[in-house]
Amino acid sequence: MSFQAYIDNIKAKTGKTPADFKKLAEKKEFIVGGKLNPKIKATEITNWLKDEFELGHGHAMAIYATFKGKKE
C-alpha cells in the first residue's frame, strides 16, 4: 500500500486529514512549536491514534510520519 493510500484510508475512516491530526496533537503537546516534542516517544503518539481513532499500527505510523515532515 502506498503512503497516499494510507492517508486516503485514514481520511475515509476518520474524516480527518493529517493537518487535523496535527492540530489535535498540538493540543496534547505531542507537537510544540510545529515540531515533535522531544519528550514524547513515537509509541505514545501511535498508541493515542490507535486508542482514540481505532487506527491500525501502519496507519498510525503514517500519521506519525506526517508529524515528522513526510508529505502526502
pLDDT along the chain (72 residues), means of 10: 93 97 98 95 98 97 94 69
Query: What is the pLDDT at residue 9?
Result: 97
Taking a C-beta distance cutoff of 8 angstroms, is the pair 10, 62 a contact? yes
Tracing cell 486516503 back to the chain, one arrives at: 8
9 inside domain: yes
Taking a C-beta distance cutoff of 8 angstroms, is the pair 46, 60 a contact? yes
Global confidence as pTM? 0.93
Query: What is the pLDDT at residue 71?
Result: 76
51 inside domain: yes
Q: Which residue range forms the structural domain that includes residue 18?
A: 3-67
72 inside domain: no
- Grid cell in block for residue 58: 501502519
Please name the residues in contact with 6: beta carbons below 8 A apart, sequence gap of 6 or more: 58, 59, 62
Query: What is the pLDDT at residue 31?
Result: 97
61 inside domain: yes
Q: Look at the chain and report how many structural domains it folds into.
A: 1
Query: What is the pLDDT at residue 72?
Result: 62
Report which DSSP code applies to 41.
-
